[in-house]
Homo-oligomer: A and B are copies of this chain.
Amino acid sequence: MDRIYAFTLATAFALPAAAFEPLTIVDQGSFAAGGTVIETPGEYDNNAPTEAGQTFHGNHLYAFYQVPQDANPLPLVFWHGAYQSGRSWETTSDGREGFQTMFLRRGYTTYVIDQARRGRAGNSTEAASIEPTPYDQLFFDQFRFGQWPEYFEGVQVDQSEETLNQFFRSVTPNTGPYDPAILADATSALIDRIGPAVLVTHSQAGGPGWLTAIRNPDVKGIVALEPGSGFVFPEDAMPEAMPSAAGTLEAEPIPAEDFVRLTEIPIVIYYGDNIPDEPTEERGKDNWRVRLDMARLWVDAINERGGDATLVHLPEEGITGGTHFLMSDLNNGQIADHIAGWLDAKNLNQ
């Protein structure tokens, strides 16, 4: 009981966060990378313009970068998940530093992207209809804050109303059809521009992250936080589909020679807490049971082929209460340290 009481007190007074330590930036800015151009047939008339003869630039990504003093050679590219933008990595919903600033302090140049057809990279070569989709409660469950409206005991989330409001307002829609190949093309173009780098992916970005590494030898390592889909396997070694209370998770086949590329770089995957070992009817939890299981098979498939993949299930290391948003949980500093330790161990800080 004492521990629970202490935790409650700590969260009650968690805000405002500690003062920001001054940070010297030796470069910052933004640009677009990748993308395509489509053109409407016909001739452009400057003084009576229609779409005829005009072009449209789309399917690129947007990147905002910052460089700290004496930066490590390899930058980190932070890639948000579904319904999110680069904001995932900035200030946490409860107002504390996110990974963007935390890893600047740890000596890393940071690139925070909005993937193609999301956020500031909204131009899509294919049309989309955007409907206001009331998913707040589903997100609360699926991101393992708790079982709406109750938070999980000990969950690493500030439980104030404004924190939840900020979280829900970090949601932003796709502005074109979701297409992992287009996303990977754009991120590969980013890597072409900036040179060798490490990807830090969240959730849905896991899959297009693997695809980017397959496309581009300058992806030197991947940190994947709670990948949720897009587990690619050699087409001759596909695992069984995995049914769950949240639907069936299927692996995705790729040529065996493409899979080899994933055995050539260090990869680490992190999952948080409240993921059951056994099937449950609690949809929000069961969704992650099969993803964690699939991730275990995936890591094995890589390591059996001579690769270097690690799965970190944080509760097994005594780090409890982690949600789907490990990078903005109350203990995100601890998670950042864990990742920084892995980067050090794999010589990716050099």
Which residues of A line the B interface, CB within 8 A? 20, 22-32, 35, 38-40, 44, 46-49, 51, 53-58, 60, 62, 64, 69, 85-87, 90-91, 95, 97-98, 101, 114, 118-138, 141, 147-148, 165-166, 168-173, 175-176, 245, 281-284
Contact = CB atoms under 8 A, between A and B. Distances in A.
A116 B38 CA distance: 28
Given A29-B91, A118-B122, 14 more contacts: A22-B26, A24-B25, A32-B169, A47-B282, A49-B135, A49-B138, A57-B136, A86-B120, A114-B120, A122-B130, A122-B172, A129-B130, A172-B175, A175-B175
A170 B227 CA distance: 29
Nearest to A65: B91
A55 to B, nearest CB: 4
Nearest to A168: B57
Secondary structure at the A interface, as helix, strand, loop or mixed, is loop
| Assembly stoichiometry (copies) | 2
A170 B148 CA distance: 39
B25 A22 contact: yes
Contacts of A44: 137, 148
A55 B35 CA distance: 34
A64 B90 contact: yes
Contacts of A137: 44, 46, 49, 53-55
B119 A122 contact: yes
A29 B119 contact: no
A194 to B, nearest CB: 13
A24 B22 contact: yes
